[in-house]
Chains A and B, each alone.
Chain A
Amino acid sequence: MGEISAGDKNVGDKNVSAKSVGMAVDLGGVRMQNPVNTASGTFAFGSVFEGFFDVSRLGAITLKGCSAEPWPGNPAPRMCEVPSGMMNTVGLANPGVAGMVEQYGEYLAGLEGRGCRVIVQAAGHSVEEYVAAVELIEELCPWASGVEMNISCPNIARGGALVGGTPESAAEVVRAVRPRVSRPLLVKMAPVRVPEIARACEAEGADALSLINTINGMSIDVRTRRSRLSKPTGGVSGPAIHAIAVRMVWEAAQAVKIPINGMGGVATWRDAAEMILAGATSVTVGTASFYDPTCAADIVDGLAAWAAEQDASDINELIGAFEC
């Protein structure tokens, strides 16, 4: 928002030559022109942001998670505000892979042509549903540079436990999907048992790890004694979870050799720089795009200026450069 982003321009004001810094990164085979990505479910399918800025300036966008069949999602209210953040229970409402391609395929193919990588996210409630989703993505999304599998979905066959809630269950679904995905495969982890699950996903052939997803929370209206959402719990996102996210990205980066796509409450270039220092190769903007729709583009500029200020000739020199 206004107050925050105004302060963020400080580095740019120092008149450092950001252009001389190499900004391209390789996220497990997704070759991005800069490290800035958008979080699934916060950027729709990209096109609605074109009225705010040239989306092709971003390194990548990650699409709203799509399942093989359309999902209606949860009833209203799906969101509420909490201090320094928000909660949602959208329930992965999506038009299905085919519906997404029909509505947005042409735009997304064009966006790839303009230099911004498109990562398609697959959602499912079971191993079979993930397999069906990625098979459709392989068939219908030839333009996509990568596939991200969201393993933070509830597994219906396991009574709603997270698909990726244990190293064993995460490994099972990555193992099933990996041979069916010809492109770089990212795994979007739940914010639980990070080092173990990160290692399990790497062992099964994930090319990169995306973390963190929202942290499960509750918000109760004390007058009605009901949840402020249509479900008892929902995912907390926004600046409130940023410090936790940086810690988890750092843990993951130490646990595995594959690159990390870091996210969680990133709202300014400083937040993004923290993620890179903690070990993230790319940084993903989520909730901030809702209230500061140009945030991701501003972070591209801010990161370049910061890297120059740090005397880096290439942003890659700063990945994991945290000194403890």
Chain B
Amino acid sequence: MTAAATGLHDFTVVTNESVADGLMRVVLSAPDVAFQMEAGQFLNVAVPGDASQILRIPLSFSHADAKAGTIEIVYAVVGDGTRRLSLMSPGDASTVVAPCGNPWPLVEGSRRACVVAGGVGITTVVACARMLAEAGVSFDAVVGAQTAGRLWGVDVLEGLGAGSVSVTTDDGTAGRRGFTTDALADLLAQGSYDVVYACGPEVMMAGVARLCRDAGVACRVSMERMMCCGFGACGTCNVAMADGTYKSCCKDGPVFGAEEVAW
């Protein structure tokens, strides 16, 4: 499925700015690899600034612009690594290991899709929506966040031609109070989707998977794991499968069929 071999590439920061509470958007100039990135894949980013933190940070991207040679990453500032990333300035340089993992698949024969994002899962969901738009698949979107201040991507999804964008927040400060699964349940009841694509907290994706199974709709999820390398060397990013085996999040995923995963 993935044509490009994972390699080591230089990047320079173009912009790095806050887009919502706790969410930053960094644009990397990485012409050697931007054109290779397919929606759903990820990058393992070396973030300078603390020699005692040796590992890279695996991050999804929202947009890879082959022409401009840039990659846009919207990331949550949650730990030491992403905090250091938030301090990188335009012109700062480092390296990425990329492309990592497999892309979101276009499900054969699908004409209508729904994309569901929870929290920072919005990043790869925006990439997915762009892929669908380019492939001529019509789609609706559900975007969930803890609170209004943490929302990002609604206008981006609208700009990509989403039929509707349903917003949910845990505290009701924007859109419907509740979870993405509440909104998705209503959409599934009305809509005739061929496939649902989801990324967010694992408990959310488990709920999405259950709703889709009950509705008889195909579902693809993008999983997250602690990992070291991002290209299949370390064996640390295992995801438990429904058949009792493990698969590697970086090599076999991060996108899995929802029915494959042991929730």
A42-B233, A64-B235, A90-B235 known; A76 vs B240 contact (CB < 8 Å): yes
Asked if B55 is an interface residue, CB under 8 A from chain A, the answer is: yes
Query: CB-CB < 8 A to B232: which residues of A?
Result: 44, 48
Contact flags B45-88 to A (C-beta < 8 A → 1, else 0): 01010011111100000000000000000000000000000000
CB interface residues, A 64-87, toward B, < 8 Å: 64, 72-73, 75-81, 83-86
Contact flags B202-236 to A (C-beta < 8 A → 1, else 0): 00000000000000000000000111110111111
Instruction: Tell which of A72, A77, A86, A88 touches B225, judged by Cβ atoms closer than 8 Å.
Output: A77
- The chain A residue sitting closest to B230, CB to CB, is A290
Instruction: Tell which of A80, A84, A85, A288 touches B226, judged by Cβ atoms closer than 8 Å.
Output: A80
Asked if A179 is an interface residue, CB under 8 A from chain B, the answer is: no
Query: Are B233 and A291 within 8 A (Cβ)?
Result: no
Query: CB-CB < 8 A to A73: which residues of B?
Result: 235, 238, 246
Give A50 to B94 CA distance when docked, in angstroms: 21
Asked if B190 is an interface residue, CB under 8 A from chain A, the answer is: no
Asked if B5 is an interface residue, CB under 8 A from chain A, the answer is: yes
Asked if A289 is an interface residue, CB under 8 A from chain B, the answer is: yes
State the interface size on chain A (CB cutoff 8 A): 40
Q: Which of A1-9, A122-130, A192-200 touches B?
A: A1-9
Query: CB-CB < 8 A to A51: which residues of B?
Result: 5-7, 231
Query: Are A81 and B234 within 8 A (Cβ)?
Result: no
Give A288 to B233 CA distance when docked, in angstroms: 11
Distance from A302 Cβ to chain B, minimum over Cβ atoms (Å): 17
Asked if B239 is an interface residue, CB under 8 A from chain A, the answer is: yes
Query: CB-CB < 8 A to A281: which residues of B?
Result: none
Query: CB-CB < 8 A to B52: which residues of A?
Result: 83-84
Distance from A243 Cβ to chain B, minimum over Cβ atoms (Å): 15
Instruction: Tell which of A49, A83, A85, A88 touches B234, judged by Cβ atoms closer than 8 Å.
Output: A88
Query: Are B6 and A48 within 8 A (Cβ)?
Result: yes
Query: Secondary structure at chain A's binding surface: helix, strand, loop or mixed?
Result: loop
Give A83 to B50 CA distance when docked, in angstroms: 10
Query: CB-CB < 8 A to B6: which residues of A?
Result: 48, 51-52
Contact flags A34-65 to B (C-beta < 8 A → 1, else 0): 00000001111000111110000000000010
- The chain A residue sitting closest to B244, CB to CB, is A72
A1-B46, A2-B46, A290-B234 known; A52 vs B240 contact (CB < 8 Å): no
- The chain A residue sitting closest to B95, CB to CB, is A2
Asked if A93 is an interface residue, CB under 8 A from chain B, the answer is: yes
Query: CB-CB < 8 A to A49: which residues of B?
Result: 233
Query: CB-CB < 8 A to A289: which residues of B?
Result: 229, 233
Instruction: Tell which of A42, A76, A81, A291 touches B239, judged by Cβ atoms closer than 8 Å.
Output: A76
Asked if A282 is an interface residue, CB under 8 A from chain B, the answer is: no
Query: CB-CB < 8 A to B239: which residues of A?
Result: 76
A78-B226, A78-B236, A79-B227 known; A2 vs B48 contact (CB < 8 Å): yes
Asked if A287 is an interface residue, CB under 8 A from chain B, the answer is: yes
Query: Are A293 and B8 within 8 A (Cβ)?
Result: yes
Query: CB-CB < 8 A to A48: which residues of B?
Result: 6, 231-233, 251
- The chain B residue sitting closest to A75, CB to CB, is B240
Asked if A279 is an interface residue, CB under 8 A from chain B, the answer is: no
Asked if A294 is an interface residue, CB under 8 A from chain B, the answer is: yes
Distance from A67 Cβ to chain B, minimum over Cβ atoms (Å): 14
Q: List 25 A-B contacts (CB under 8 A).
A: A1-B56, A2-B94, A43-B233, A44-B232, A48-B231, A51-B5, A51-B7, A52-B7, A72-B246, A75-B240, A76-B225, A76-B226, A76-B237, A78-B235, A80-B226, A81-B55, A83-B52, A84-B54, A86-B54, A88-B236, A93-B246, A290-B228, A290-B234, A291-B54, A294-B8
Instruction: Spell out A's residues near B (CB within 8 Å).
Output: 1-4, 41-44, 48-52, 64, 72-73, 75-81, 83-86, 88, 90, 93, 238-239, 267, 287-291, 293-294
Q: A73-B235, A290-B56 are in contact. List 19 more A-B contacts (CB 8 A).
A: A3-B48, A50-B5, A72-B246, A73-B238, A76-B238, A76-B239, A77-B236, A78-B235, A78-B236, A79-B226, A79-B227, A86-B55, A287-B228, A290-B233, A291-B54, A291-B228, A293-B8, A293-B97, A293-B233
Instruction: Spell out B's residues near A (CB within 8 Å).
Output: 5-8, 46, 48, 51-56, 94-95, 97, 225-229, 231-240, 245-246, 251
